Amino acid sequence: MFNFKVVSRSTATRARTGLLQTAHGEVKTPVFMPVGTRASVKSLTPEELLDCGAQIILGNTYHLYLRPGCEVIRSFNGLHGFMHWDGPILTDSGGFQIFSLAKLRKLSEEGALFQSHIDGSQHMLTPEKSVEVQLCLGSDIIMCLDECIKYPTEWDAANKALQLTTQWAKRCKAALGKEKNALFGIVQGGMFKDLRETSAHALMDIGFNGYAVGGLSVGEPKDIMLEIADFTLPILDDTKPKYIMGVGTPEDLVELVALGGDMFDCVIPTRNARNGQMFTKFGAINICNSRFKYDTEPIDSECTCYTCQNYSRAYLRHLYMAKELLAYRLNTIHNIHYYTRLMENVRTAISQDRFEAFKKDFIQNRRP
- When pLDDT is cut at 50, 70 and 90, the band that residue 263 belongs to is very high
d(CA 155, CA 189): 8
Please tell me the distance from the alpha carbon of residue 243 to that of residue 264, in angstroms, as a whole number.
Answer: 6
Q: Give the separation between CA 342 and CA 31, rounded to whole angstroms.
A: 9
Print burial letters for 138-159: b (CB count within 10 Å at least 16), e (below 16).
bbbbbbbbbbbbebebeeeebb
Number of helices and strands in the chain (H, E): 15, 16
pLDDT digits 0-9 by tens, 75-125: 999 999 999 999 999 999 988 888 787 667 888 999 999 888 899 999 999
Q: Which of 51, 92, 146, 262 is catalytic?
A: 92
Average pLDDT over residues 244-272: 97
Cis peptide before 269 (omega within 30 of 0): no
pTM confidence score? 0.97
Higher confidence at residue 368 or residue 118? 118
Mean pLDDT of the chain: 96
Torsion angles phi and psi, residue 144, rounded to 5: -65, 145
Mean local confidence (pLDDT), 258-267:
98
What whole-number distance in Å separates Cα of residue 51 and Cα of residue 304?
10
In this structure, the chain runs to a length of 368
pLDDT band at 362 (very low <50, low <70, confident <90, very high): very high
The one-letter amino acid code at 4 reads F
Angstrom distances, CA of residue 4 to CA of 21, 22, 67, 156: 6, 9, 32, 36
Residue extents of the structural domains in the chain? 2-265, 267-359
pLDDT of 368 above 60: no
- Of 140, 262, 265, 300, the catalytic one is 265
* Host H or E run for residue 32: strand 31-33
Among residues 210, 147, 221, which one has the least CA distance to residue 183? 210
Q: Where are the alpha helices (DSSP H) in the chain?
A: 46-52, 61-66, 70-74, 79-83, 95-100, 127-137, 155-176, 193-206, 222-232, 250-259, 268-274, 306-310, 313-321, 325-351, 355-365
Closest CA to 247 of 32, 7, 2: 32
346 — pLDDT class (breaks 50, 70, 90): very high
265 is catalytic: yes
Span 2-265: which CATH code? 3.20.20.105
SS3 at position 253: helix
CA gap 316, 309 in Å, rounded: 13
Q: Is the distance from CB of 140 to CB of 24 less than 8 angstroms?
A: yes
Residue 235 has pLDDT above 90, yes or no: yes
CA distance 111 to 153: 21
What is the mean pLDDT of the segment spanning 56-85?
97
- pLDDT value, residue 367: 62
